[in-house]
Amino acid sequence: MHPAKSVILFTVASGAGYGLIFLFTLFDMLGYVPRTPAATAMVFGLSLVLITGGLLASTFHLGHPERAWRALTQWRSSWLSREGVAALATYAPLVVYGFLRWQNPEVLSLAEQVAGGLTLVGAVVTVYCTSMIYASLKTIPAWATAWTPASYLAMALVTGSVLLCALAYMGGYFTNMIQWVTMILLVFGALVKLGYRRAVMRQRIVSTAETATGLAKEGETAHLLEAPHTEGNYLTEEMGGRLDRNAAGRLVRMSMMAGFLYPLLLVFFASSQSLWINDVIFVVAILTTGVGIAMERWLFFAEARHSVTLYYGERAV
């Protein structure tokens, strides 16, 4: 498939925002991060920018972005609608939690605990709903697997943890615990991504040109005499993209190194001391993670093959 840049930006940015606020809220409720206005402003400000920017970017792919609000009415049957509803619903506890934390830096109040708990749930539910937009599409076998939501949730934690590391260093509360949690999540994310790729590579072919045309029941073989269209159309351009296997292999290796290996090494060698080398480490870690996860997300779309391509000459998907 031909992935839209806006969709890649949406999934990576919003996932990073939800991952960051999830980890910070969890650490805050466990008492592992300082309750300072500066920490609150940095984390909640960046999270809201990433989440809001990602959600706005998701509308760029629509033919009529001004009608995007109508998707919210189909939450009973549409994962896209459920994602929008969950995202909007999460804003309320997130903003309330940040405001209460800013106003009362002394102690975690009951109201903050409730708002924080709802923020944790909302972040997970929203990212899960985003993943199910794709995992629910049985016409794309590579996406219709439990590994898809696992990958989206893991990538959100990976990007969020690296951002939290950098903000913790800037805020003066970078600790060994935050460092080790980030490294563990980077290893976990890499394992999930490798598991997803292994599962996709081992998928059993269930749709062929014969099953699509109904000739399989007759024991016949389908042959394409001529293309359904003389020129390319939306289906051939949006759903029928092909990626060279060698190029895909190189991109997979590059995404794994940039998204997981390099950040892992950089975070491992980072320290809480105020040194210029640590500034460089965290800047490079954020950049490599962003590039690697963006490549991973591009491959997620580019390697997918839609069943409709069986009517345009593909033998199997």
158 within a domain of the structure (yes/no): yes
Is pLDDT at 80 greater than 70 in this prediction?
Answer: yes
- What is the distance between the alpha carbons of residues 292 and 255, in angstroms, rounded to a whole number? 4
Angle at 235 between CA 232 and CA 236, to 5 degrees: 45
208-212 long-range contacts (CB < 8 A, ≥24 apart) are 208/310, 208/315, 208/316, 209/310, 209/314, 209/315, 209/316, 212/307, 212/310, 212/311
Backbone angles phi, psi at 316, to 5 degrees: -160, 155
Q: What is the pLDDT of residue 176?
A: 92
Residue among 126, 114, 131 nearest 50 (CA)? 126
317 within a domain of the structure (yes/no): no
- What is the mean predicted confidence (pLDDT) over 213-225? 66
173 within a domain of the structure (yes/no): yes
Structurally, how many domains does the chain consist of? 1
Q: What is the pLDDT of residue 273?
A: 81
164 within a domain of the structure (yes/no): yes
Contact predicate 49/17, CB 8 Å: yes
Tokens of 203: 């998928």
Q: What is the pLDDT of residue 108?
A: 81
109 within a domain of the structure (yes/no): yes
- What is the mean predicted confidence (pLDDT) over 54-65? 74
- What is the distance between the alpha carbons of residues 302 and 305, in angstroms, rounded to a whole number? 8
Cα 114 to Cα 34, 93, 104: the distances in Å are 19, 8, 15
pLDDT in tens, 130-158: 999 999 988 888 898 999 999 999 999 99
More confident residue, 242 or 52: 52
- What is the distance between the alpha carbons of residues 17 and 91, in angstroms, rounded to a whole number? 12
State the CATH number of the domain containing residue 184.
1.20.1630.10
Report residue 225's pLDDT band, with 50, 70 and 90 as the boundaries. Answer: low
By three-state DSSP, how is residue 208 classified?
A: strand
pLDDT in tens, 156-212: 999 999 999 999 999 999 999 999 999 999 999 999 999 999 998 887 666 766 666
Tokens of 197: 């790729």
- What is the mean predicted confidence (pLDDT) over 50-64? 80
- What is the distance between the alpha carbons of residues 83 and 316, in angstroms, rounded to a whole number? 31
Contact predicate 180/188, CB 8 Å: no
Cα 50 to Cα 10, 47, 151, 299: the distances in Å are 9, 5, 19, 22
Domain that holds residue 217: 5-312
- What is the distance between the alpha carbons of residues 96 and 91, in angstroms, rounded to a whole number? 8
Q: What is the pLDDT of residue 75?
A: 77
45 within a domain of the structure (yes/no): yes
Tokens of 74: 């189909």
Longest C-alpha distance within the chain, in Å? 75
Backbone angles phi, psi at 239, to 5 degrees: -105, -15
Angle at 16 between CA 15 and CA 17, to 5 degrees: 90
Q: What is the pLDDT of residue 149?
A: 97
Report residue 66's pLDDT band, with 50, 70 and 90 as the boundaries. Answer: low
